[in-house]
Structure formats: C-alpha cells, structure tokens
Amino acid sequence: MHWEGVLPAITTPFTADGQVDHEFLARHARWLVDNGCTGVVALGSLGESPTLRFEEKVAILQTAVTALGTRAPVVAGIGAVGTAEAVELARQAERIGCSGLMILPPYVYAGDPREMLQHVATILRSTRLSCMLYNNPIAYRTDFLPEQIARLADEHPNLHAVKESSGDVRRITALRALHGNRLAILVGVDDLIVEGVRAGAVGWIAGLANALPRESVALFNLARRGPSPKLEKLHHWFLPLLRLDTHNKFVQLIKLVQQETGTGSERVRPPRLPLTGAERKAALALIRSSLARRPKEPALATRARP
C-alpha cells in the first residue's frame, strides 16, 4: 500500500428503493482510477458508513476489490460503534483483499484518550494490513494529538499514515517534526489541500474527486510542484466547490455535484435526505456557476462518465 496521491473517499450509490447500487459502484471505482486517482477509500464519512449494515459494508468492499483488481488499491474504512465489530470488519477487509485500512474512532462514544487509543491499538493488532489513522475531531469528537499518534506509530509498525482532518495545517508540520517521513500524511479536508501539500502532505483523501477527478488530480499535482500561475488559477476556480466538503451536509452536497456532472445520484440514506427548497436552490446556483466556468484545458477534460 502506497499512501500517496489522490484517493477519493468514494460515495456509496443507492438505487431508487434505497439499496446499495453495486453495479454503479464498480463502474464508478474504475472510472476514478481511469481519471488518475491512485485508489479508493470506501466506507468513510462520505460513504455514509454509519447508515450501512455490517453485511452491506462487506459487500461494498468486495465489489470495489473485484472492480479494481490489481489496478489500484482499495482502502477499507473501519468504523463501528464498538471495538469488537471494528476488529471483525478489519478482518473481513483483509480476507476480501483490501490493501489498507482507514481506522476511525467509534461512532457514538467519544471516550478519553486512553480509551480511544486502546480502540485503535486493538484494531492495529488484529491485522497485517497497512493502516491509516483518521483524525477528525470535528466530526467524531476525538482528537488524536501528534504526540499520541507518534506513540501509536512507535508501538505498531503497520501504522503507516494519518488522514489529518482537524483543519489545522500545523498538525501536519507537527507530525513531520515528530516522525519525519515515517508516517505519510494525507489531507482529509478538501479546501485545505494546497496548504496541506505545502506543509508536507503526500496524499489527499478527496471528496469532490467523486465528481471531478481530473481536476482534483491536476490540483494535487500542481500543488506538489510548488506555486505557479496555473496552480493559482485552478485553485481559485475549484475552491468554492472544495468548500462544500466542510459543510454539515457535505454528503448531500457532494452527491448533488455528482448528479450535476452526470457522475452519480443525489440519493442518500436516511436519516439524511436530499436537499430541498432554498438550500438546494442556493447549492445548485453555486455548483452550476462553477461548472459553467470549468477549465477547458485538454489535460483536465474528463473521460467517459461512469
């Protein structure tokens, strides 16, 4: 598992009757890789993992692994209410053939550091797969501090990466100061990607890549090369859309962008509901305005839709 490049936090597509659309999921995963993404991360926050039953999660991982084969890695989001279920999901992901795990804190109970670190350590010990810790204190009310992450990495050799979603770019520099290049750091907040790369991040767990993979890959690659007029122009265009990833209804918003680009549907699973009324009107105005000014360079032209 190489923790680098653009790895979309792939959305979970649903049919009209609310079931997981495995046929579309397979096409979508292949299309993302066709358009330059280095792999996919399934069952994350954007994948609506808390609303999925255990057997649905296993089936989604199987579909993604079968669709991509040896072309690109599938990373399994390991999130659950309890540690035992998380361990079982990690073992199933390894059995299916996933290349890595993204370890989330428990969904409901946000305990003290001793409890949360023990939860992560138990999952790390249960698998031989390469693992990435997902730090998102805003969503999960658990904040893994750089010093705690460094200790986990010292004690568990299969912890190789951190998805940093605190929104504080200083966390990236702090992790690098503590561990150098021992841990790959990946940005988990879309509108922080340029700053994150400048601070030393080597990858991006991207949301808007579900609808705009070529633009996402181009932005990431330009950011890694350093400041340039081309980077500034693309970033300026993309930023209003990237900010949708930081909204409380980011799942509905990103799926709405997918629908507008013909790369998915806005269907979500309750308790989420599609946007309506003035909220939907405002979102569509922003999305359509941005898409009307979409860069036309050949290098950014997306390939056939999934």
Active site residues: 134, 163
- Secondary structure of residue 111 in the 3-state scheme: coil
Amino acid at 2: H
**b/e burial code for range 60-93 (CB count within 10 A of at least 16 → b):** bbbbbbebbeeebbbbbbbbbeebebbbbbbebb
Other C-beta atoms within 10 Å of 110: how many?
14
Task: Report yes or no: 69 and 40 within 8 Å, Cβ to Cβ.
Answer: no
Q: What is the C-alpha to C-alpha distance for residues 14 and 266, in angstroms, rounded to an integer? A: 9
Q: What is the C-alpha to C-alpha distance for residues 244 and 251, in angstroms, rounded to an integer? A: 9
- Secondary structure of residue 102 in the 3-state scheme: strand
Q: What is the C-alpha to C-alpha distance for residues 166 and 135, in angstroms, rounded to an integer? A: 7
205 annotated as ligand-binding = yes
List, as residue ranges, the binding site for pyruvate.
Answer: 205
List, as residue ranges, the binding site.
Answer: 205
